[in-house]
Amino acid sequence: MKDSTTASKADAAATALQASRRHFLKVGASGLAAATVATWVPESAAQPAQAAPAGEQSSAPAAGERSIELKVNGQSHRLNVAPNAILLDVLRDRLQLTGTKKGCDHGQCGACTLLVNGVAINSCLSIAVQHDGDEITTIEGLARDGQLHPVQEAFWEHDAYQCGYCTSGQIMSAVAILNDPNIPADDASVREAMSGNICRCGAYKNILAAVQSARSKMGRPA
């Protein structure tokens, strides 16, 4: 009788464990899907927060603040910011453009890469007031009319990501590289040019394949 009771308890525990595993996998997969989709949020879906309407100033700068205009993904934003406000933080916290990721916060991982006047920079090392009037492009600004940028398409097609945290920075660096005629098209040169973007999952082979695939999509010389 004791053995029968013990076996029943063991069966019940095994059933609960299986259910728990199924729940974990379901929640985990849903979370990963949500994170992946968030990477591709189009410009039109971004909802600026705490920012004055484009081209307007809601109030005079407070003591110690400066008024600047950031042109982000084709839209102008007039903001009051502290002189030492970091561009990455202003984009994420003030404009809610969270596709640009905060990684190491020391300019070493490349997760925060975006384009300023077409040039890739680490936004975690950049002061916002330095970019008054500059043209800034984030991952949210690459898609046009509901169509992904060729680099975004190539990353999707070649599974050039795993956890996805570095993906937006990788894509922005790739766009800059493919738009720079001074960077050779061979694999070694692309690896060198992309070396400032770290993928902790180790998806470098697929990232390289995606960049070279996007090269042909964009009509760049091979």
Tens digits of residue pLDDT in 40-82: 433 333 444 444 444 445 588 888 899 999 999 999 999 999 9
Share of the chain above pLDDT 90, in %: 70
Kindly state whether residues 155 and 99 are assigned to the same domain: no
Question: Rounded distance, CA 54 to CA 128, Å?
Answer: 17
- On whether residue 60 sits in a domain, the answer given is yes
- On whether residue 29 sits in a domain, the answer given is no
Looking at residue 8, its pLDDT comes to 55
Least confident of 42-56, 76-90, 141-155: 42-56
**Chain center to CA of 17:** 36
- On whether residue 196 sits in a domain, the answer given is yes
Question: Rounded distance, CA 25 to CA 31, Å?
Answer: 10
Q: 167 is in which domain, residue-wise?
A: 150-217
Looking at residue 86, its pLDDT comes to 98
Question: Which one, of 111, 77, 82, 115, lies nearest residue 96 by Cα?
Answer: 77
- On whether residue 102 sits in a domain, the answer given is yes
Per the CB < 8 A criterion, the answer to whether 196 and 183 are in contact is no
Question: Rounded distance, CA 110 to CA 70, Å?
Answer: 21
Supply the pTM of this predicted model: 0.75
User: Structural domain tally of the chain?
Assistant: 2
- On whether residue 17 sits in a domain, the answer given is no
Question: In the structure, what pLDDT confidence band is assigned to residue 10 with cuts at 50, 70 and 90?
Answer: low
- On whether residue 40 sits in a domain, the answer given is no
The SS3 assignment for 20 reads: helix
Looking at residue 44, its pLDDT comes to 38
* 145 phi and psi angles, rounded to 5 deg: 50, 40
- Cβ-based neighbours of 205, under 8 Å, separated by 6 or more: none
Question: Rounded distance, CA 206 to CA 212, Å?
Answer: 10
Segment 91-113 mean pLDDT: 97
Average pLDDT, the chain: 83
CA dihedral 57, 49, 144, 73 (to 10 degrees): 40
Question: Rounded distance, CA 54 to CA 146, Å?
Answer: 22
**Chain center to CA of 70:** 19
Question: Rounded distance, CA 123 to CA 90, Å?
Answer: 10
111: CATH: 3.10.20.30
Tens digits of residue pLDDT in 159-180: 999 999 999 999 999 999 999 9
Kindly state whether residues 160 and 209 are assigned to the same domain: yes
Give the CA diameter of the chain.
81
